[in-house]
């Protein structure tokens, strides 16, 4: 079982095919200056010997690894898999590989991971709530092409791809307003989380655009988890002047809100309408199904790889501040059905 079959090298192939290594190399790099017959002979010999070019030697010589490093934060669930799925699809098509590193819950971890990967990859795709300017201009990161996923701090120095959070939030708000709601609460995200901040900004913007004052008591804190949504639900129900609608900054919190409302016997959407953001899979399956904002997450991954490969092919380090914004789409479901009183 542990027979050490020495890997066959390009020299072996060359010898058996009666040509020089250069010619073999040319064949495998699709050079057009090898005569057809020679090429076929070489390919056949190589196939017979089960020859696979040594990637390390190739990288060393060419100074490219054909690998992309993906550094992802400590996120769970669908987001993670969808991003990788999207990224892998494109990378694979372009014969690139994905070196992934998960779970960076703080800046230090992110930095060491980046350093460890540096040298094994041609470029980085970076996603982290902890990205700040200092980190980004660090020597090793500034000398490698990098695309940043949704971090405004980096937008001026690096290419970035983001979700249109503000527009998404405004869509939710417009929808709720169009249903006649005027007392609309929001469950915020973590302090400092950019997606959360942008969604809150959208909330404010749309209220303002409709001449409605935002009430402080309608803005409650959450941390993107279901329990924090549950807690927010309690806070809102205890107000003497309850809201008629709640916009949670993500679906998990919205589900938490729904859970609390159900426990208290508050009917959704008749007494209170609820909407979320992200459109995770469950949102369409629960009861009442949840109105949310859909974003094509796998596209986030694909686009990131596409942009990165573009840099790599043009030889640039990184285009400064080039941005792509992914559209957000409202998906209306039961949790915000028109109120009966309005029908």
| Among residues 38, 101, 152, 322, the one that binds DNA under rule CB under 7 A | 38
* Residue number, 52 or 209, with CB nearest to DNA: 52
Q: Where are the alpha helices (DSSP H) in the chain?
A: 10-17, 21-28, 36-49, 55-62, 78-93, 107-117, 133-137, 139-142, 165-178, 194-209, 226-237, 251-263, 297-314
Contact partner, 216, from DNA, a second copy, none, Cβ < 5-8 Å per class: none
Peptide bond preceding 285: is omega within 30 degrees of 0, i.e. cis? Answer: no
| Among residues 1, 33, 285, 343, the one that binds DNA under rule CB under 7 A | 33
- Residue whose tokens read 């279901």: 226
**Residue 97 touches a second copy, criterion: CB under 8 A:** yes
With H, G, I as helix, E, B as strand and everything else as coil, classify residue 342: helix
**Residue 47 touches a second copy, criterion: CB under 8 A:** no
Q: Which two three-digit tokens encode residue 184? A: 């609309």
Contact partner, 28, from DNA, a second copy, none, Cβ < 5-8 Å per class: DNA
Please, are residues 306 and 123 in contact by the beta-carbon 8 Å criterion? no
* Residue number, 54 or 81, with CB nearest to DNA: 54
Peptide bond preceding 288: is omega within 30 degrees of 0, i.e. cis? Answer: yes
- Residue whose tokens read 């980190």: 135
**Residue 75 touches a second copy, criterion: CB under 8 A:** yes
**Residue 143 touches DNA, criterion: CB under 7 A:** no
CA distances from 307 to 68, 91, 220, 304, 322 (A): 12, 11, 37, 5, 10
Q: Give the binding-site size for a second copy (rule: CB under 8 A).
A: 62
Cβ atoms < 10 Å from Cβ of 288? 18
224: left (phi over 0), alpha (psi -120 to 50) or beta: left
| Among residues 48, 57, 133, 320, the one that binds DNA under rule CB under 7 A | 57
Between strands 329-331 and 292-294, the pairing is antiparallel
Contact partner, 209, from a second copy, DNA, none, Cβ < 5-8 Å per class: none
CB of 50 to DNA, least distance (A): 11
Q: Give the binding-site size for DNA (rule: CB under 7 A).
A: 32
* Residue number, 208 or 316, with CB nearest to a second copy: 316
Residues within the interface to DNA (CB under 7 A): 6-7, 9-11, 18-23, 25-26, 28-29, 32-35, 37-39, 51-54, 57-58, 60-63
The site for a second copy (CB under 8 A) is made up of 1-3, 5, 7, 50, 52-57, 59-60, 65, 67, 75-82, 84-85, 88-89, 92, 95, 97-103, 113, 115-120, 139-140, 143, 226, 255-256, 259, 262, 281-282, 285-287, 315-318, 320
């Amino acid at each position: 079982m542990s027979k050490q079959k020495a890997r066959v090298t390009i020299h072996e192939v060359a010898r058996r095919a009666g040509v020089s290594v250069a010619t073999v190399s040319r064949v495998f790099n699709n050079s057009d200056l090898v005569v057809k017959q020679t090429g076929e002979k070489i390919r056949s010999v190589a196939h017979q010997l089960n020859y696979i070019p040594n990637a390390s030697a190739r990288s060393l010589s060419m100074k490219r690894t054909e690998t992309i490093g993906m550094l992802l934060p400590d996120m769970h669930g669908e987001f993670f898999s969808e991003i990788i799925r999207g990224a892998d699809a494109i990378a694979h098509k372009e014969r690139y590989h994905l070196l992934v590193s998960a779970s960076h819950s703080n800046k230090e971890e992110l930095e060491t991971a980046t350093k460890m990967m540096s040298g094994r990859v041609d470029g980085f795709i970076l996603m982290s709530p902890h990205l700040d300017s200092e980190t980004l201009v660090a020597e090793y990161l500034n000398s490698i092409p990098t695309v940043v996923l949704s971090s405004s701090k980096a937008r001026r120095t690096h290419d970035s791809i983001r979700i249109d959070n503000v527009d998404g939030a405004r869509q939710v708000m417009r929808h709720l307003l169009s249903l006649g709601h005027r007392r609309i609460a929001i469950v915020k995200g973590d302090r400092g989380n950019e997606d959360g901040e942008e969604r809150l900004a959208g909330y404010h913007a749309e209220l303002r655009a409709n001449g409605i004052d935002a009430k402080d008591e309608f803005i409650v804190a959450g941390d993107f988890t279901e329990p924090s949504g549950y807690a927010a639900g309690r806070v809102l129900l205890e107000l003497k002047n309850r809201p008629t609608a709640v916009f949670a900054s993500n679906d998990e919190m919205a589900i938490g809100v729904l859970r609390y409302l159900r426990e208290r016997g508050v009917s959704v959407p008749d007494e209170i309408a609820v909407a979320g953001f992200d459109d995770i899979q469950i949102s369409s399956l629960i009861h009442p199904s949840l109105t949310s904002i859909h974003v094509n997450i796998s596209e986030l991954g694909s686009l990131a790889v596409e942009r990165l490969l573009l840099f790599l092919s043009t030889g640039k380090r990184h285009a400064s501040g080039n941005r792509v914004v992914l559209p957000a789409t409202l998906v209306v479901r039961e949790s915000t059905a028109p109120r009966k009183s309005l029908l």
